[in-house]
Amino acid sequence: MKTVYSLEDLRTQIQCWRRESARIALVPTMGNLHAGHISLLERARALADRSVVSIFVNPIQFGKGEDYAKYPSTLDADMEKLGAAGLDLLFAPNLAELYPGGIEEDTRVTVPGLSAILCGQFRPGHFSGVATVVTKLFNNVQPDVALFGEKDYQQLLVIKRMAHDLLLPIEILGMPIVRESDGLAMSSRNAYLSPLERGRAPRIYAALQEAATKLSKGAQSIIAIETAAMADLAAAGFRPEYFSVRRPTDLSSPQLGDTSVQILVAAWLGSARLIDNLHVALDQPLAIL
């Protein structure tokens, strides 16, 4: 595994691979890697001749009072995991080079509409920060394919829309959520959970499963299902922000006759903000809203 820290070194390596007509896959991350990240790399290696992982904690996707300053930095351990998994190139850029205009004045990329709902409502500017840094990575790595985890489902749709609208010739792939044995979606922020909170955390996935069962039976309205889930999470010690049933393609509200939905949730447990989602293929077209 080769590690580069500058855009010049990154571009030199990419140009070399391009001269060899190599197919390149990119996995953008913020580090503190877990098995979910490694699953993305494994798929990337299967899809391309060369694999690139970026590690960069992106300040402009964090809002005021969020955890940018304390986000876990585990570069040495991450490098060991990536090397063992067969990565070709690790890109670990520095802040000044990636944001030459400074983080307050640097150009932003914004995906309207989709960025303002759900997580975007509670984290204003977050998805603009994500879209901006991913665009910078795309411009410099020029991958044929880029892989993202479906745990951040709204983020995945934002990036797909951005690539489509900006005419970027990159295939964007979402990869299945990797879960702990008790169902909790793997996340770097799970490290913020106390032992007691970690024991409660799988309740968020259980709430998704219970809602999916209710939707499949078609006996309750979507609003009733969402309201009950919010109340159940609050009773279990969470501070839920939203629990919402949406269309999988664009996160708009479901319509009668839909045959599948995406259930999405964000909830605080202690100092950890947990997100999760579940795709539901309905046995019968949606008959009640």
How confident is the model over 152-174, as pLDDT tens digits?
999 999 999 999 999 999 999 99
Active site residue 34: no
Residue 65 pLDDT class (50, 70, 90 cuts): confident
Residue 218 confidence (pLDDT): 84
Tens digit of pLDDT for each residue in 108-160? Answer: 999 999 999 999 999 999 999 999 999 999 999 999 999 999 999 999 999 99
Rg (CA), the chain: 20
CATH code of domain 188-281:
3.30.1300.10
Distance between CA atoms of residues 285 and 255, nearest Å: 10
Distance between CA atoms of residues 102 and 8, nearest Å: 19
Distance between CA atoms of residues 242 and 240, nearest Å: 6
Give the CATH fold of the 2-175 domain: Rossmann fold (3.40.50)
Helices (H), 201-242: 203-217, 222-235
Q: Is the pLDDT of residue 64 over 90?
A: no
Q: Is the pLDDT of residue 99 over 90?
A: yes
If 0-12 CB within 10 Å is exposed, 13-18 middle and 19+ buried, where does residue 259 land? Answer: exposed
Average pLDDT value for residue range 212-231: 93
Distance between CA atoms of residues 44 and 23, nearest Å: 10
Least confident of 62-71, 186-195, 223-232: 62-71
Are both 2-175 and 188-281 of the same fold? no
Tokens of 282: 């309905």
**pTM of the entire structure?**
0.96
Residue 217 pLDDT class (50, 70, 90 cuts): confident
Percent of the chain with pLDDT over 70: 100
Average pLDDT value for residue range 211-217: 93
What is the maximum alpha-carbon separation in the chain? 59
Distance between CA atoms of residues 72 and 75, nearest Å: 9
Q: To which H or E segment does residue 89 belong?
A: strand 89-91
Residue 25 confidence (pLDDT): 98
Helices (H), the chain: 7-19, 35-47, 75-84, 95-98, 119-122, 126-141, 153-165, 195-200, 203-217, 222-235
Spans of all domains in the chain: 2-175, 188-281
**Catalytically annotated residue among 34, 37, 126, 279:** 37
Q: What are the two backbone dihedrals, phi and then psi, of residue 184, each rounded to the nearest 5 degrees?
A: -65, 130
* DSSP secondary structure code for residue 150 in this structure: G
Residue 72 pLDDT class (50, 70, 90 cuts): confident
Tens digit of pLDDT for each residue in 3-60? Answer: 999 999 999 999 999 999 999 999 999 999 999 999 999 999 999 999 999 999 999 9
Residue 281 confidence (pLDDT): 95
Average pLDDT value for residue range 180-199: 97
Average pLDDT value for residue range 221-232: 97
